[in-house]
Amino acid sequence: MLIHKKDQVLEYLEGLNPSQRAAVEQTKGPVMIVAGAGSGKTRVITFRVAHLVRSGVDSFNLLVLTFTNKAAKEMRKRIIELVGPEAKNIWMGTFHSVFAKILRVEAAKIGYPTNFTIYDTDDSKSLLRAILREQQLDDKLYNANFVYNRISSAKNNLISAAEYLKNAQIQSEDTATGRGRLGEIYQIYSQRCFKAGAMDFDDILFKTNVLLREHPDALYKYQNKFKYLMVDEYQDTNYSQYLIVKKLAAINENICVVGDDAQSIYAFRGANIQNILNFEKDYPDLKVFKLEQNYRSTQNIVNVANSIIANNKNQLKKNVFSKNEEGDKIKVARAFSDNEEGKIVAESILQERGVKGLKFNDFAILYRTNAQSRSMEEALRKLNVPYKIYGGLSFYQRKEIKDLISYFRLTFNSNDEEALKRVINYPKRGIGDTSMERIIIAADQHKITPWEVISDAGRFLEQRSATAIGNFAIMIQSFQVVAKNQTAYEAALHIAQHSGLLKDLYTDKSVEGLNRYENIQELLNGIKEFSEREDIEDRGLDIFMQDVALLTNDDNDKNPDADTVSLMTIHSAKGLEFPHVYVVGLEENLFPSQMSINSRADLEEERRLFYVAITRAEKKLTISYATSRYRWGTLTSCEPSRFLDEIDAQFLELEFKNTQKTTDKNPFFDDTLASSKSADTFSKIKPNSGIIRKTTSMLPKAHIPSEGFAPSDISGLQVGMEVEHERFGYGKVINIEGNKSDIKATIFFKELGQKQLLLKFAKLRIVI
């Protein structure tokens, strides 16, 4: 039932604040709603659609576009509660779901059957792999993932295969990289899809643009059908989506877009922030409404987010504020290494939970890259803190990690059949499924293990396959020798290199390939740290594997409602919120990423990503960074992120303490003040004064060993001698104790303070 009486409409809108209500009531003409984080965006969209229906707009004439099916489902449910079953007639859904529905109706116009198939990503890549094999192309240069991403990017920019082949600049770029046949592959792929009556995911928007461009009758039909358009998350639209929306709204111009330029973080997926920044150029009569009250976060969290995003030049200015409690200051924690960072975060979660009676569900750990989850996962597991990885697999469950670990397992237990099956033909070495079946059959016939068959392949298998299988056996046997005679790290690196796994991942230059390569690097970093531990005697790769076996036990509760800490990348966290948030890894070349610091546009997107991370927090926010991280086995000094310098210092609480006093007059070099919670202390520091960089300039950095560093014979080590440790730097021996086989030295290191080391593992160089 439609409601027209003014007093009833007014009562219906009473729950909105003035800005929200104004945006809801403006039903005619072009409208842009700039919705700050936590400002009730979904509520405004829901009420605006309901208000249109209650005001007499035919629900069949409404088109509402979202970016997730979940968002569309939730909105429709709320609208039905407000206006009844009339809401079921609204065209509401994701871009792909709505326009796939239209293409089913109009398919004949563009030469497709109405029951066309939609290929998912795996279908598309499988077809591309078949084409690449048929064309006998080098699968290192023409990797299926890379080719798929290249074609996807072209379609999102409305470049057809024919246009791709005609574009001289594109052809020149492809030729320069040794991939001059990409256009030809794109053309063959498109022809094969068309012949099969299939569209891939990108085709849905690409073909919709073709339909609206080449068939004016279809364009006119849908322009008149959709008299009112609403687009959620407009800052995430790409060129293809932008053109569709613009064409459909061209007659009536009753278009409302909702979004926040400060949360535009998907450029790598084709999103174009200029769509929202330049919206007024397309619609000069545009009415802009700004939702600036944040209902989610404390005042301090909102203030920190504002101080960060203020550094972006390309933005729609708004003054986000909160009327919630002032809240705790934002903690900044510094760790010596990424492993210590994980320990700090895990211990903090346990402490906060215990003191405040919270659930693990109240906590989230956000990071820039998936590889960073390793140190967090290990620290949480050691303290028996349950957690769940969102938007990705647990670090040790990722394919590339399981592949390399399977090589490790096979090295120490050649009868491990599951590990054998996983790696015998990865990377490809001509030992297919048929060969593996013959190995299993031979083992069963002779009542021996598959490994015994493999290690004597010439006896049990036909010559054609015996050579490749025999070479594989020799490789594994060589790994066994290396593992016995080298450190855990040296053995692991040797296996990663000589198995061919590292090379295979390195040649895949797609985003996914780079992530997999980084994950292997992170695993090797963890093994490097393990091999240098001084609190255990046996540090071989086999002992590391025992630890990993415990870590990878599938003992997590599969209940989605289980009480667990949430771990995820910041990209995965968009749209979510948590009472307590930890944003980790705030270091230069990590966050902002190394790839982003060469252009303003990329750097500003990284800053928007940091803004998104901050605004996920409701009650408490902790930011952390490490002063050193392992990169391919080398301990590398890290510089705090420039983003930390951009935070207004009055909202910060610095958690770290210096290990030594200094005469510097800056109060933040004094440990008693560095951890002070006094507002007076912070008032002495000017906003954006670079306090993080200044305080850390005197803090311990990763030691760089002296040239030609080599451990000395420490049999004559005495109290008072000066020594150098490869990791801890220079120090002075202040005590020696213990028996001959278990001598310990207490050393005061200049940068780290006092440490006790077991001399037979310490690897010290005697300086004086």
Place of tokens 């001289």: 168
pLDDT beyond 90 at 121: no
Segment among 223-237, 473-487, 707-721 with least mean pLDDT: 707-721
Q: What is the pLDDT of residue 664?
A: 39
The span from the first CA to the last CA of the chain, in angstroms, equals 92
List 42, 487, 507, 521, catalytic entry = 42
Residue 680 belongs to some domain of the structure = no
Burial 149-172 (b: 16+ CB within 10 A, else e): bbbbebbbebbebeebeeeeebee
Q: What number is the average pLDDT over the span 687-711?
A: 59
Question: Which positions ≥6 away from 17 have C-beta within 8 Å?
Answer: 40, 293
Identity of residue 205 = L
CATH number where 129 lies: 1.10.10
- Structural domain count, the chain: 5
Assess contact for 16 and 264: CB atoms under 8 A.
Answer: no
Number of Cβ within 10 Å of residue 666's Cβ equals 16
Give the pairing type, strands 764-766 and 722-725.
Answer: antiparallel
Do residues 404 and 387 share a domain?
Answer: no
Q: Please say if 600 is a catalytic residue.
A: no
Do residues 411 and 343 share a domain?
Answer: no
Q: What is the pLDDT of residue 633?
A: 67
Residue 489 belongs to some domain of the structure = yes
Residue 690 belongs to some domain of the structure = no
Q: What is the DSSP string of 721-742?
A: -EEEETTTEEEEEEEEES-TTS
List 398, 616, 620, 629, catalytic entry = 616
Q: CA nearest 24: which of 319, 280, 230, 224?
A: 230
Task: Using DSSP, state whether 371 is helix, strand or coil.
Answer: helix
List 20, 21, 41, 237, catalytic entry = 41
pLDDT band at 669 (very low <50, low <70, confident <90, very high): very low
Q: What number is the average pLDDT over the span 422-426?
A: 90
Q: What is the pLDDT of residue 663?
A: 37
> Could you give the count of Cα atoms lying within 13 Å of 595 in the half-sphere of its Cβ?
6
Q: CA nearest 749: which of 766, 765, 732?
A: 732
Place of tokens 């005619």: 28
Q: What is the pLDDT of residue 312?
A: 92
Backbone angles phi, psi at 66, to 5 degrees: -125, 180
DSSP category for residue 576: -
Assess contact for 238 and 270: CB atoms under 8 A.
Answer: yes
Do residues 406 and 492 share a domain?
Answer: yes
Residue 71 belongs to some domain of the structure = yes
Segment among 38-42, 365-369, 687-691 with least mean pLDDT: 687-691
List pLDDT tens digits, range 24-33. 999 999 999 9
List 86, 174, 200, 233, catalytic entry = 233
Of 174, 196, 218, the residue at which a domain comes to its end is: 196
Do residues 125 and 231 share a domain?
Answer: no
Do residues 567 and 650 share a domain?
Answer: yes
Choose the most confident range, by mean pLDDT, from 418-432, 554-568, 612-626, 627-641: 612-626
Segment among 218-232, 411-425, 676-690 with least mean pLDDT: 676-690
Do residues 587 and 531 share a domain?
Answer: no
Q: What is the pLDDT of residue 536?
A: 63
Q: What number is the average pLDDT over the span 589-599?
A: 86
Q: Please say if 74 is a catalytic residue.
A: no
pLDDT beyond 80 at 164: yes
pLDDT beyond 80 at 82: yes
Please give the Cα distance from 605 to 279 (Å, whole number): 19
Q: CA nearest 368: which of 637, 572, 647?
A: 572
Of 146, 171, 196, the residue at which a domain comes to its end is: 196
DSSP category for residue 35: E
Token code pair at residue 578: 């948590």
CATH number where 336 lies: 3.40.50.300
Residue 545 belongs to some domain of the structure = no
Token code pair at residue 135: 């064309």
pLDDT band at 685 (very low <50, low <70, confident <90, very high): very low
- Percentage of the chain beyond pLDDT 90 is 39
Assess contact for 644 and 332: CB atoms under 8 A.
Answer: yes
Q: What number is the average pLDDT over the span 485-491?
A: 90
Indicate the annotated binding residues for ATP.
Answer: 35-42
Token code pair at residue 221: 């039909």
Segment among 227-241, 449-463, 537-551 with least mean pLDDT: 537-551
Strand partners, 722: 732
Q: What number is the average pLDDT over the span 464-477?
A: 89
Q: Please say if 123 is a catalytic residue.
A: no
Token code pair at residue 407: 């090589």
Q: Please say if 232 is a catalytic residue.
A: yes
Indicate the annotated binding residues.
Answer: 35-42
List 174, 202, 232, 618, catalytic entry = 232
Q: What number is the average pLDDT over the span 541-566?
A: 64
Q: What number is the average pLDDT over the span 578-605?
A: 91
The domain in which residue 141 lies consists of 117-196
Do residues 529 and 458 share a domain?
Answer: yes
**C-alpha distance from residue 96 to each of 93, 102, 621 (Å):** 8, 10, 36
Assess contact for 139 and 147: CB atoms under 8 A.
Answer: no
Backbone angles phi, psi at 690, to 5 degrees: 75, 35
Q: Which spans in 294-396 are helix H?
A: 299-309, 338-356, 373-382
Q: Select the more confidently predicted residue: 320 or 595.
A: 320
Total residue count of the chain as it appears in this document: 768
Assess contact for 346 and 384: CB atoms under 8 A.
Answer: no
Do residues 265 and 224 share a domain?
Answer: yes
Q: What number is the average pLDDT over the span 189-216?
A: 90
pLDDT band at 697 (very low <50, low <70, confident <90, very high): very low
List pLDDT tens digits, range 331-343. 999 998 898 999 9
Q: What is the pLDDT of residue 197?
A: 79
Average pLDDT, the chain: 84
Q: What number is the average pLDDT over the span 697-709?
A: 64
Q: What is the pLDDT of residue 392?
A: 61
Q: Which helix (H) or strand (E) holds 333?
A: strand 330-335
> Could you give the count of Cα atoms lying within 13 Å of 579 in the half-sphere of its Cβ?
12
Do residues 6 and 90 share a domain?
Answer: yes
Of 165, 196, 227, the residue at which a domain comes to its end is: 196
Q: Please say if 263 is a catalytic residue.
A: yes
Q: What number is the average pLDDT over the span 93-98?
A: 86
Residue 683 belongs to some domain of the structure = no
Do residues 522 and 560 share a domain?
Answer: no
Q: What is the pLDDT of residue 248?
A: 95
Q: List the beta strands (DSSP E) in 601-713.
A: 617-626, 628-631, 634-637, 652-654
What is this structure's pTM? 0.71
Number of Cβ within 10 Å of residue 323's Cβ equals 9
Do residues 246 and 325 share a domain?
Answer: no
Q: What number is the average pLDDT over the span 311-338?
A: 91
Residue 685 belongs to some domain of the structure = no
Residue 667 belongs to some domain of the structure = no
Q: Select the more confidently predicted residue: 105 or 581.
A: 581
Do residues 339 and 424 share a domain?
Answer: no
